[in-house]
């Protein structure tokens, strides 16, 4: 089936591009990045360049179900609209899970590429947003596996030591996390967690998945998921207590 | 291991804590916590962290140029595939 791309000159940059601060990006050679950045500029991209915002306008009056149906039928405008509707949530999810802007962008790209490949198979058994969310999580997990994080044996992957265990909490409760937690300090602490701990913590405490769902996603036991989450929280507690002792510095 | 909650040591309680928390049970009335300030403070901290996590990481916007990359990659994929019937 022929695609319904509208033609726009590549010399007309999308207006939204001008508002963005340029960001220095280091070269990335992850498997995902190589998909999008390898080789020279494809000719087709010059011929059909179209900002997602413009596509969104052309389908703005349609209900979400119609946008989805059109995207499933191969309508590029509708797919661009879907991107506009879901990009923030998917990008934020990727960013939480990997803690790195460049990787999160690559993973968002890969998630929407996968969506483009698979959207026709969506049958509506769950909400589309839930389906896309799961698809995106799988993209991130696949990426982490490629990076060498052995998600099937998280205990070993997290460099466990006796310090990680509960015994560490036996010291005097000199500094309890009373009141509200400094959100920035907590975000920093989550960002500093080992990748596997961060993954479990984000999936459970931030994204709201249950342990049995996480266990299925990561191919580990429910007990393992609970244990890793507990250790992640203990590590965060330690980091926050240190932050408190230092008076919030650093 | 001592499974009697009343005479549980801190270590024993904390070893069971992942399962206890994961069970979703209300731990406030757990016998060990009735007499242990340290473990009560620990549980409070962990609950505070879990609660704060829900407010973490506000939704963020990807760079606008990301759509250009995605669109370009889609076209590249389509260009490398035979025309669908």
**Inter-chain touch A113–B64, beta carbons under 8 Å:** no
What is the predicted pLDDT for the residue at A51?
A: 55
Chain B interface test: which of A18, A109, A238 (most B C-beta within 10 Å)? A109
What are the DSSP calls for B21-57, one per residue? HHTT---TT-HHHHH-HHHHHHHHHHHHHHHHHTT-S
Q: Which CATH number does the domain A36-146 belong to among 1.10.1740.10, 3.40.50.300, 3.10.20.30, 3.30.1330.120?
A: 1.10.1740.10
What is the predicted pLDDT for the residue at A195?
A: 83
Nearest CA in chain A to B41: A176
Segments making up each domain of chain A, as ranges: 36-146, 151-245
Tell me which residue in B11, B50, B75 faces A167 most closely, judged by beta carbons: B11
What is the predicted pLDDT for the residue at A233?
A: 92
CA-CA distance, B66 to A31, in Å (whole number)?
Answer: 17
Residue B64, helix vs strand vs coil: coil
**Inter-chain touch A52–B67, beta carbons under 8 Å:** yes
| Local confidence band at A150 (pLDDT 50, 70, 90 cut-offs) | low
| Local confidence band at A146 (pLDDT 50, 70, 90 cut-offs) | confident
Would A36-146 and A151-245 be classified into the same CATH topology?
no
Would you say domain A151-245 falls under CATH 1.10.10.10?
yes
Residue A78, helix vs strand vs coil: helix
Taking residues A17-44, report their average pLDDT.
Answer: 32
Element (H, E) at A18: none
What interface predicted TM-score (ipTM) does this complex get?
0.72
pTM of the model: 0.64
Classify residue A19 as exposed, middle or buried by CB count within 10 Å of its CB (0-12, 13-18, 19+). Answer: exposed
Give the pLDDT confidence of A78-126 residue by residue, as tens digits: 999 999 999 999 999 998 888 889 999 999 999 999 999 999 999 988 8
CA-CA distance, A94 to A104, in Å (whole number)?
Answer: 5
CA-CA distance, A109 to A87, in Å (whole number)?
Answer: 9
Q: What is the DSSP letter of A41?
A: P
Cβ neighbours of residue B55 under 8 Å, at least 6 residues apart? Answer: A183
Q: Is B27 on the interface with A (CB under 8 A)?
A: no
What is the predicted pLDDT for the residue at A31?
A: 31
Give the pLDDT confidence of B52-71 residue by residue, as tens digits: 887 777 788 999 999 999 99
* The pair of three-digit structure tokens given for residue A156, joined into one six-digit string: 């070993």
How far apart, in Å, are the Cα atoms of B24 and each of A191, A214, B37, B70? 26, 16, 21, 41
With contacts defined as CB-CB under 8 Å, which chain A residues touch B48? Answer: 177, 181
What is the predicted pLDDT for the residue at A16?
A: 35
Question: Mean pLDDT in chain A?
Answer: 71
Give the pLDDT confidence of A32-79 residue by residue, as tens digits: 333 333 333 332 333 334 456 666 666 667 788 899 999 999 999 999
Length of chain B: 85
Tell me which residue in A2, A42, A230 faces B18 most closely, judged by beta carbons: A230
- Contact present, A219 and A151 (Cβ < 8 Å): yes
With contacts defined as CB-CB under 8 Å, which chain A residues touch B10? Answer: 166, 169-170
With contacts defined as CB-CB under 8 Å, which chain B residues touch A22? Answer: none
Give the pLDDT confidence of B11-54 residue by residue, as tens digits: 888 888 888 887 777 888 889 998 898 998 888 888 889 888 87
Give the pLDDT confidence of A187-232 residue by residue, as tens digits: 889 988 888 888 899 989 888 888 888 888 888 888 888 999 999 9
Chain B interface test: which of A41, A74, A205 (most B C-beta within 10 Å)? A205
Q: Is B76 on the interface with A (CB under 8 A)?
A: yes
What is the predicted pLDDT for the residue at A34?
A: 32
With contacts defined as CB-CB under 8 Å, which chain B residues touch A42? Answer: 72, 75-76, 79
């Amino acid at each position: 089936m022929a695609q319904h791309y509208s033609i726009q000159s590549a010399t007309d940059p999308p207006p939204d591009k001008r508002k963005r601060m340029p960001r220095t990006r280091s070269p990335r050679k992850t498997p995902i990045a190589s998909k999008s950045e390898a080789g020279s500029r494809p000719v087709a991209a010059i011929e059909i360049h179209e900002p997602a915002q413009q596509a969104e306008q052309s389908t703005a009056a349609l209900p979400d179900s119609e946008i989805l149906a059109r995207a499933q039928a191969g309508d590029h405008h509708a797919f661009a609209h879907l991107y506009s509707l879901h990009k923030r949530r998917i990008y934020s999810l990727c960013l939480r899970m990997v803690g790195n802007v460049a990787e999160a962008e690559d993973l968002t790209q890969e998630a929407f590429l996968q969506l483009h490949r698979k959207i026709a198979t969506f049958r509506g058994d769950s909400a589309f947003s839930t389906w896309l969310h799961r698809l995106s999580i799988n993209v991130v997990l696949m990426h982490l596996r490629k990076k060498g994080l052995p998600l099937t044996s998280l205990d070993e992957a997290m460099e466990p030591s006796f310090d990680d265990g509960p015994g560490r909490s036996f010291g005097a409760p000199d500094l309890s996390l009373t009141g509200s937690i400094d959100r920035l300090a907590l975000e920093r602490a989550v960002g500093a967690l080992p990748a596997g701990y961060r993954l479990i913590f984000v999936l459970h405490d931030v994204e709201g998945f249950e342990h049995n769902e996480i266990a299925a996603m990561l191919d580990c036991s429910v007990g393992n998921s609970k244990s890793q989450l507990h250790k992640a929280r203990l590590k965060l507690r330690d980091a926050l207590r240190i932050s408190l002792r230092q008076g919030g510095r650093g | 291991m001592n499974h009697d909650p009343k005479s549980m040591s801190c270590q024993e309680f904390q070893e069971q804590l992942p399962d206890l928390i994961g069970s979703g049970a209300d731990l406030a009335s757990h016998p060990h916590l009735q007499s242990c300030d340290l473990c009560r403070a620990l549980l409070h901290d962990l609950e505070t962290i879990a609660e704060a996590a829900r407010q973490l990481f506000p939704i963020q916007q990807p760079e606008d140029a990301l759509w250009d990359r995605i669109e370009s990659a889609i076209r590249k994929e389509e260009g490398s595939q035979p025309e669908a019937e």
